[in-house]
Amino acid sequence: MTTLPLFPLPNVVLFPGVYLPLHIFEPRYRTMVADALDGDRMIGMTLLKPGFEHDYDGRPPVYPIGCAGVITHAERLDDGRYNIILQGTERFRVVDEDQTRAYRLATVEPVSEPSVVDVISLQSLRQRLEALVLAMVERAGAEWSMPAAMGDADLVHALAQYLDFEPIEKQALLEVNGLVARATALADLLEMKSLRIGTAVSGGRH
C-alpha cells in the first residue's frame, strides 16, 4: 500500500498509459500539485459519485477504483494556477483517507492486471474495435486511421478515455479486470452506441 493525493472530478476518468491535460485552479489542488512536484510527481484520479454537488468543497464519495498518473509536464502560471499533463500509470483501490490535508490524501493499493493475456483473442478484439471506430468515423463524415504501431493496451485505453462515453461508462471500463475483458466491454459498448445512432438516423428519415 502507498499514500497518494487524490484529484476527484465529476467527469474525468484516467486510464493507464493515456495522457490527460488538466488545468488546476482551486487553492487546495494547487497545493496538491506543488506537493506532488516536490515529491514523486504522482496524483490519483478518481471519479466523484452522483450527488457530490452538495459537498463538493468537502470530501464527497468517490468510486473506489481510480488510476494513478505521473505529472510529465507542469506549467505554473503567474497567479498560482497550473497547467499539467498526467500520464496514467496503474489502477488502484482506495483503502482509507487521511483527513489532515486541505486536499484529499488516500491510502491506496494497486489493482494488478492478469499476467497472462490471450493474444489471439486480443488480436481479434483489436480488429473488431478498429472496424467499429472506422464505421463511426465514416458515418460522421470524417477521416481517421488507427496507428498501426500503437500497442494493444494503449489503443484500448486511449479509445476508452477519448471516445464520447458517459463518465460512468468510462468508470465501468476502468473497473473491468484484464485487458481482454476490458477490450470486450469496450467493443460491446461501441456496438450499442452504434446501433443507437443507426436507429436514430433511420428514425429521422421520412
Q: 34 in helix, strand or coil?
A: helix
Q: Mean pLDDT over residues 18-47, rounded?
A: 96
104 forms bridges with which residues in the sheet? Answer: 6
Is pLDDT above 90 for 205? no
Per-residue buried b or exposed e for 139-177, using 16+ beta carbons within 10 Å of the residue's own CB: eeeeeeeeeeeeebbebbbbbbbeeebebebbbbbbbbe
Q: Mean pLDDT over residues 30-41, rounded?
A: 96
Q: Mean pLDDT over residues 67-83, rounded?
A: 97
Q: Where are the domains of the chain?
A: 2-110, 119-203
What residue has cell string 506532488?
36
CATH topology of domain 2-110: 2.30.130
**Percent of the chain having pLDDT more than 70?**
89
pLDDT in tens, 155-187: 999 999 998 899 999 999 999 999 999 999 999
Query: Which sign, positive or negative, has the C-alpha torsion 12, 13, 19, 22?
Result: positive
